[in-house]
């Protein structure tokens, strides 16, 4: 059988299988990885963190995790992400499950959160958290849901027992069930789920600290961010004769990343009070843009001595403070720098479309070949589907003779079996070659062969 005939037979068998699969599970549920849509993302609120995450922020339809010591800025970072979610999807809600009962609404408003569109739920047990998460995800009304926090989830059985009575892995079981459901429903409805976690002592080998919630949580998260303070002294100002701390420098390590290279560290300045010296509450995006714009791969800002030139506008500034002040007045340039920074990492995004596949020259000749009509790859990885509506329509498969395909395959197998077998190698010659190639094993001054 010729190679072309064998390829055509395999194509008919694949089409027949696809037809049966679509009838059982729905059209478009099974398709080539090259036809998957590119990642849609929601910014974290930090340009540098978006850049270090590799794709521009939180991937929609995925679960992310933020962890670190107390009072480090985990909730603030989650609230800044909610601000970006509300900007991108003004017609959708944002959810906040406040298990710790410590949400600071005045701070949320100062950060820019629209509290009228932020739905806050304060559960009383871990079971209520899991049920509320499922209900919010399946509604399709939310763009982002934040859970604060995994470590604070207390099961009902723990509340009912006395303080000296132990319970084993009850919380981990609830979290495991919750994240399994959340992974499916978040992907179905395109929701970003951010889980804030606390630090726990690691009693086994490895690092001194770890996160709670069981092993399932470690597998379902696309991004895991570890927050810690740097050695830089806290930012302070003098107000009414007193020293007031207004923020601190934060190192955020992308500890886990399933869509881009991990282990990058973003350094951001996080402010809890506004000041003339350091800027607004939250993260100063203008200061981050000044840093990213100067990168060689980004190339949006040019420096010559003490002078800086913003290339897209031609505006010049003498000194970095003047550059940051100019960028604060130009949000469009800040967003342009962010897009350029993310685009410079497009080749590093992990995607199934990156694999090189050897395709026969005649593979696309048959009518309705799945190799026809594929669109180019998107910015954040994957490829734009050939069917923009996502219906997964495939070419007509009627008239396919599966028996003929099976017969053709069997003919090819029979022809392969008729080929003469390779001549056996004489045992004596084989032994001689092995003995010649074996290197001596040396111990001290002696050699053993």
Residues 82 and 228 in one domain: yes
Contact 275, 286 (CB under 8 A): no
The band of 1, judged by pLDDT with boundaries at 50, 70 and 90, is low
Is residue 431 included in any domain, yes or no? no
- In tens, the pLDDT along 325-350 reads 999 999 999 999 999 998 888 766 65
pLDDT value at position 123? 97
Supply the pLDDT for residue 209: 82
Same domain, 134 and 15: no
Domain co-membership, 169 together with 275: yes
348, 52 contact by CB (below 8 A): no
426 or 238, which is more confident? 238
- At residue 34, the 3 state secondary structure works out as helix
Q: Does 329 lie in the same domain as 316?
A: yes
Residue 247 is assigned to a structural domain of this protein: yes
In this structure, the answer to whether residues 99 and 183 fall within a common structural domain is yes
Residue 187 placed within a domain? yes
Give the model confidence (pLDDT) of 111-127 as tens digits: 999 999 999 999 999 99
Domain stops at, among 348, 380, 395: 348
Domain carrying residue 20: 3-30+350-417
436 occurs within a structural domain: no
Is residue 289 domain-shared with residue 279, that is, in the same domain? no
Average pLDDT over residues 224-238: 95
Residues 408, 31, 58: CA angle, nearest 5 degrees: 155
- Does residue 90 sit in the same domain as residue 182? yes
CATH of the domain at 321: 3.30.250.10
Does a structural domain hold residue 185?
A: yes
Any domain includes 14 = yes
**pLDDT greater than 70 at residue 366:** no
| Domain end among 329, 348, 367 | 348
Query: Same structural domain for residues 293 and 375?
Result: no
| Band of residue 400 on the pLDDT scale cut at 50, 70, 90 | very low
- Write down the pLDDT at residue 305: 94
Is residue 156 within 8 Å of 127, Cβ to Cβ?
Answer: yes
pLDDT at 194 over 50: yes
The model's confidence at residue 411, banded by pLDDT at 50, 70 and 90, is: low
Task: Flag whether 35 is in a domain.
Answer: no
User: Mind giving me the DSSP string for 42-107?
Assistant: E--S-HHHHHHHSSSSEETTSEEEEEESTTSSHHHHHHHHHHHHHHH-TTSEEEEEETTS---HHH
Arithmetic mean of pLDDT over the chain: 81
What average pLDDT does range 138-151 have in this prediction?
97
**Rounded Cα distance, 208 and 215, in Å:** 17
Domain with 121 in it: what CATH number?
A: 3.40.50.300
Pairing outcome for strands 242-257 and 265-271: antiparallel
Summarize pLDDT for 22-58 with one digit per residue, the tens. 999 988 889 888 887 778 999 999 999 999 999 999 9
Kindly state whether residues 70 and 216 are assigned to the same domain.
Answer: yes
Cα 106 from Cα 119, distance rounded (Å): 15
Q: Is residue 427 part of a domain?
A: no
Structural domains counted in the chain: 3
Model pLDDT, residue 14: 92
Q: How far apart are CA 405 and CA 10, in angstroms?
A: 7
User: Which residues pair with residue 192 across a beta bridge?
Assistant: 144
Residues 316 and 371 in one domain: no
Residues 252 and 294 in one domain: no
**Are 239 and 333 members of one domain?**
no
Q: For residue 60, what are the contacts with CB-CB under 8 A and spacing of at least 6?
A: 39, 40, 41, 42, 143, 190, 191, 192
């Amino acid at each position: 059988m010729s190679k072309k005939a064998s390829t055509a037979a395999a194509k008919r068998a694949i089409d027949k299988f696809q037809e049966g699969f679509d009838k059982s599970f729905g059209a478009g549920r099974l398709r080539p990885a090259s036809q998957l849509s590119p990642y849609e993302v929601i910014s974290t609120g930090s340009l540098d963190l978006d850049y270090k995450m590799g794709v521009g922020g939180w991937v929609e339809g995925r679960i992310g995790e933020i962890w670190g010591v107390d009072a480090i800025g985990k909730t603030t970072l989650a609230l800044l992400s909610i601000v970006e979610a509300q900007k991108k999807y003004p017609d959708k809600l944002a959810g906040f499950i406040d298990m710790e009962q410590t949400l600071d609404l005045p701070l949320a408003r100062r950060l820019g959160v629209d509290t009228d569109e932020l739905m806050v739920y304060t559960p009383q047990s871990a079971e209520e958290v899991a049920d509320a998460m499922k209900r919010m995800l399946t509604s399709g009304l939310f763009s982002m849901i934040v859970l604060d926090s995994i470590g604070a989830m207390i099961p009902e059985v723990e509340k009912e027992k006395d303080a000296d009575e132990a319970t084993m892995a009850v919380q981990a079981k609830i979290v495991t069930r919750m994240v399994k459901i959340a992974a499916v429903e978040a992907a179905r409805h395109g929701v970003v789920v951010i889980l804030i976690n606390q630090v726990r002592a690691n009693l086994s080998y490895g690092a001194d600290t770890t996160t709670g919630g069981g092993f399932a949580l470690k597998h379902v998260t696309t991004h895991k961010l570890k927050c810690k303070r740097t050695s830089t002294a806290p930012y302070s100002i003098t107000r009414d004769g007193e020293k007031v701390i207004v923020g601190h420098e934060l190192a955020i390590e992308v500890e886990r990343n399933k869509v881009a290279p991990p282990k990058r560290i973003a350094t951001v300045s996080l402010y809890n009070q506004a000041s003339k010296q350091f800027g607004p509450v939250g993260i100063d995006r203008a200061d981050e843009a000044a840093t990213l714009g100067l990168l060689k791969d980004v190339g949006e800002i040019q420096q010559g001595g003490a002078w800086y030139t913003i290339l897209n506008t031609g505006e010049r500034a003498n000194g970095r403070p003047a550059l940051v002040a100019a960028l604060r007045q130009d949000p469009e340039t800040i967003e342009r720098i962010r897009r350029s920074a993310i685009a410079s990492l497009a080749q590093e995004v992990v995607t199934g479309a990156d694999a090189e596949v050897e395709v026969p020259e005649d593979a696309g000749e048959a009518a309705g070949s799945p190799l026809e009509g594929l669109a180019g790859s998107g910015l954040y990885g994957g490829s734009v589907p050939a069917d923009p509506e996502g219906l997964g329509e495939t070419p007509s498969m009627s008239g396919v003779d599966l028996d003929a395909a099976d017969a053709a395959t069997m003919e090819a197998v029979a022809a392969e079996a008729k080929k003469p077998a390779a001549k056996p190698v004489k045992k004596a010659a084989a032994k001689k070659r092995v003995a010649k190639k074996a290197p001596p094993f040396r111990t001290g001054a002696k050699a053993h062969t």
